[in-house]
């Protein structure tokens, strides 16, 4: 399975299966052990260290763009919101919302104050899931978590 496949493609632990199969051939009882568990989130520095990044669901208003991004960190896929373009208020916010019901209801996941001194214009990363009901959206506004943000990404 290619690392660039859509996040809804299930990831399998081939290494664990190979070990269990080898032990079975040797006549040794093999007990299932969970594969290495991924952290639910990665911080903004770790987002910058992801590989195989892809842009999803971009939207633009004037010169300000917002998008969802995904990439791999430690072998696991994460998604985050990113602000691009120019003209945005450096005292503004970008935040990420997650839905577990395909976008009918949303829960706040993470926010980044653009003038926090880090220079980042993106949120932390959140582990993706294979369920088509588990989706992200990103928003930007000068008011944190505004009901009608200035610009909002599509859903991915």
Mean pLDDT, all residues of the chain: 82
Report, as an integer, the average pLDDT of 23-39.
54
3-state SS string over 42-108? Answer: ECHHHHHCCEEEEEEEEEEECCEEEEEEEEEECCEEEEEEEEEECCCCCCCEEEEEEECCCCCCCEE
Please tell me the predicted confidence (pLDDT) of residue 26. Answer: 39
* pLDDT range class, residue 56, cuts 50, 70, 90: very high
The set of residues, in sequence order, having a beta carbon less than 8 Å from that of 132 and lying 6+ positions away, is 8, 102
What is the mean predicted confidence (pLDDT) over 55-77?
97
Q: Residue 35's pLDDT is what?
A: 59
Under the banding of pLDDT at 50, 70 and 90, the label for residue 29 is: very low
88 has pLDDT over 70: yes
Tokens of 11: 């990831």
Q: What's the pLDDT at 79?
A: 98
Q: Are 73 and 141 in contact (CB under 8 A)?
A: no
Grade residue 42 by pLDDT with cuts at 50, 70 and 90: very high
Query: Distance (Å, rounded) from C-alpha 113 to C-alpha 59?
Result: 20
Task: Quote the pTM value.
Answer: 0.77
The arithmetic mean of pLDDT across residues 68-96, rounded, is: 95
Query: Is the CB of residue 72 less than 8 Å from the CB of residue 52?
Result: yes
pLDDT of 63: 93
| pLDDT at residue 8 in the model | 39
Assess whether pLDDT exceeds 60 at residue 10: no
pLDDT in tens, 111-143: 999 987 777 899 999 999 999 999 999 999 999
Of 136, 133, 139, 141, nearest in space to 155 by CA: 136
Those residues whose C-beta lies under 8 Å from the C-beta of residue 153, and which sit 6 or more positions away, are 56, 57, 58, 59, 66, 67, 68, 81, 137, 138, 139
């Amino acid at each position: 399975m290619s690392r660039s496949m859509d996040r809804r493609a299930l990831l399998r632990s081939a290494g664990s299966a190979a070990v269990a199969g080898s032990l079975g051939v040797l006549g040794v009882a093999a007990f299932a052990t969970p594969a290495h568990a991924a952290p639910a989130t990665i911080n903004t520095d770790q987002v910058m260290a992801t590989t195989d990044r892809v842009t999803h669901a971009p939207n633009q208003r004037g010169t300000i763009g917002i998008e969802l991004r995904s990439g791999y960190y430690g072998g696991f896929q994460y998604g985050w919101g990113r602000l691009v373009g120019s003209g945005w208020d450096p005292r503004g916010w970008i935040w990420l919302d997650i839905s577990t019901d395909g976008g009918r209801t949303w829960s706040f996941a993470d926010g980044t104050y653009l003038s926090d001194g880090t220079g980042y214009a993106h949120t932390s990363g959140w582990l993706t899931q294979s369920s088509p009901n588990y989706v992200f959206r990103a928003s930007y506004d000068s008011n944190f978590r505004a009901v009608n943000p200035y610009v909002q990404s599509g859903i991915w």
